[in-house]
Structure 1
Amino acid sequence: MDFVRKLLALVLGVALLALTACGAGTPRTVGAAEPLSSIKLTPGEDEDSAPKVEFDTPLEATEPGAKVLEEGDGAKVEEGQDVSYKLAGYNMKDGSEVGNTFKEPAMTLSVNDDLKEQDEQIHEILVGTKVGSWVAYVHPKNADESDDDGASANPKDPSQIDQLLILKVVDAKDKIKVDFTKEDGDAKKDAEPTADIAEDGSGTVKIPAGNEPPVDLKVTTLKEGDGDKVKKSDTITVDYAGARWEDGEQFDSSYEKGSPATFGLDQVIKGWTEGLEGVKEGSTVLLTIPSKLAYDGQDGMPQGTLVFVVDVKSIDKPAK
């Protein structure tokens, strides 16, 4: 949903990273949480139902703040984990719901060094939060108040409304990590990469010694799913990690970023298009992609043969 993406882009990217921490011992709060004191929350009937949220309107806040409305009974979030969450947004002026993500798969935020560097305070409050907790937070004036001509922001556009956000911490898991290693020694004719990948997706990929990779695309199924076969016209969601054949250096990983990637299969490099077409949903495959099917010649992109581990998580819809 477009309004959800705008909500996340404008608020999670700005509001979350603007919060400041406070002391412990009372219900957890950060920043200026006083305006959140009137909020009453009733959880939905199940994990796919948005909560009922009531608060005094207009909710007036001039500084960012957050408050744990209900503490969960799950494990505490630990440093380095990925936090899964769902959220709902509410108009601060009249209390109406702007939108929610509860019927969609949970989204992910990585509690890592990047987050700590961007904002040490939000990093601190997430570490120690219990799974199952409900958190309210506001970041006023997340959109321009007016255009250059003095006109007010479009009230029909949810991204242009000051919002109260209610977040449910759904889960916290250790970050999946895929390590690539370049073997030493003499090159072996027709040698191909091998992988030892666990059920959760973590593991190690060994790239053969020498720098004479296969000249053709190689696809090895590490785990076969039981879903439909991917078509070239599909939009799919995957987790992946990729490294260069020549030295085993990893250059990209959705696991490190904290969230899967979604794309049309006909909109990526040819090695992915050809290598993933026909793969069953739920499968994990190892792709060895020759330069002619990779980024060869594209400035700023890794050159030469590439090796990817790709976990096909879902087939979303036909690509437009």
Structure 2
Amino acid sequence: MRKVMALVATASLLLVTACGSTTMASSGDTAPLASIKVTPGSDDSSDPTVTFDTPLVATATAAKVLVEGKGEAIKENQNIKFKSIAYKATDASLLGSGFAGEPVTLPTNEEFKAQLPALYETLMQTKVGSWIAMVEPAAEAAATDGASPSASPEAAQAETVVVLKVVSTEEIPPAAPPSKKLGADEVKKLKDAGALPTFEMKDGKPAITIPKGKDAPAGLVVDIVKEGTGKVATATSKVSANYTGVRWEDGKQFDSSYDRGKASDFGLDGVIPGWTQGLTGLKAGTQVMLTIPTDLAYGPDAAAQGAPEGTLVFFVELKEVK
């Protein structure tokens, strides 16, 4: 199932609540959705009652407003907050509901528009508070994911009916400009002020210390401790390096090749941006302290990926440029 459809359906899956209306927006062949009716629950945390003729057969993705809300018109570049509920198309049995939980957020961005144009177009014609029904054939979703659709008509029939209620919207804040690599003069100024991490070798391993009472730098810091004399690394070089990494927030170590007893081999085009930018242009044999802001490390969703959060600090010894 495609990522957006999976979010919509797994959110578990959508539903509505509404205030009546006469204008019904729709996209795709909505004839199969004609029998779907919704009766809102007692409040936004209660499941609605949804009925439709079974089996519901649809061979193309379609979405339709069942009841139009009375809130603000939905626009591009907003975060839509919704609750949803999903049913099996063949017998209307409940697959899952998200009404008891918090609303799920879906951005009206280009990815959404490309993956589920029928739902996107329908949302763009309606308002907050609307209840929307959607159906997507399993084979069509699989084809978009790169799988070969079956030639069998049965394989193209709808498997899931999703009903959602748009609870609210909010403008998507403009993205912050990406962090930049600080110049040599800026790095020196921070270093002279005692605002950069330091290290000392203990038993052949670097022990990194975060400066107390100092905020993390506003950009990528490349603090060269010892300059090498070997081959210069490019942004696509394959290199071998020893390193230790800690979090700026608490100084806790999260990874170290020194602890594993051998250098790590990797391509500079396959690591976090802070490593790519920080090691490009350095010579083999260089020792460097990298202070990497969140957006050039693992990003704001690092924890969800099982990766370290926030600004990260690395001691790196560039052993070899291959």
TM-score norm. by structure 1 comes to 0.53
Contiguous gaps of at least 5 residues in structure 1? 14-24, 154-159, 196-204, 221-241, 273-286, 298-320
Select 2:47's aligned residue among 47, 50, 53: 50
Alignment partner, residue 29 of structure 2: 32
Please give the per-residue CA displacement for 1:192-249, whole angstroms capped at 9, x wherever unaligned: 6858xxxxxxxxx822766469x863218xxxxxxxxxxxxxxxxxxxxx97384979
Alignment partner, residue 288 of structure 1: 311
* Cα distance, 1:8 vs structure 2: 5.0
Alignment partner, residue 173 of structure 1: 170
Alignment partner, residue 112 of structure 1: 109
Alignment partner, residue 232 of structure 2: none
Change beyond 3 A, Cα 1:77–1:291: farther
Change beyond 3 A, Cα 1:137–1:122: closer
Alpha-carbon distance between aligned partners in 1 of 2:311 and 2:293, rounded to the nearest angstrom: 12
Change beyond 3 A, Cα 1:134–1:261: farther
Asked if 1:207 is matched to 2:214, the reply is no
Q: What's the secondary structure of 2:186's corresponding residue?
A: coil
Alignment partner, residue 219 of structure 1: 249
Alpha-carbon distance between aligned partners in 1 of 2:164 and 2:133, rounded to the nearest angstrom: 6
Report which stretch shifted further, 164-173 or 110-119.
110-119
Change beyond 3 A, Cα 1:243–1:191: farther
Kindly indicate whether the alpha-carbon contact (under 8 Å) linking 1:11 and 1:139 is maintained by their aligned counterparts in 2.
no
* Cα distance, 1:67 vs structure 2: 0.8
- Number of equivalent positions: 218
Contiguous gaps of at least 5 residues in structure 2? 11-21, 143-149, 197-213, 226-244, 251-271, 279-291
Alpha-carbon distance between aligned partners in 1 of 2:32 and 2:110, rounded to the nearest angstrom: 31
Higher-RCO chain (CA-CA 8 Å, sequence separation at least 6): 2
Alpha-carbon distance between aligned partners in 2 of 1:288 and 1:7, rounded to the nearest angstrom: 30
| Alignment-mate amino acid for residue 186 of structure 2 | D
Asked if 1:135 is matched to 2:132, the reply is yes
Q: What's the secondary structure of 1:219's corresponding residue?
A: coil
Alpha-carbon distance between aligned partners in 1 of 2:75 and 2:222, rounded to the nearest angstrom: 40
Alpha-carbon distance between aligned partners in 2 of 1:6 and 1:249, rounded to the nearest angstrom: 25
Q: What's the secondary structure of 1:108's corresponding residue?
A: strand
Alignment partner, residue 163 of structure 1: 160
Kindly indicate whether the alpha-carbon contact (under 8 Å) linking 1:77 and 1:130 is maintained by their aligned counterparts in 2.
yes
Q: Alignment identity in percent?
A: 33
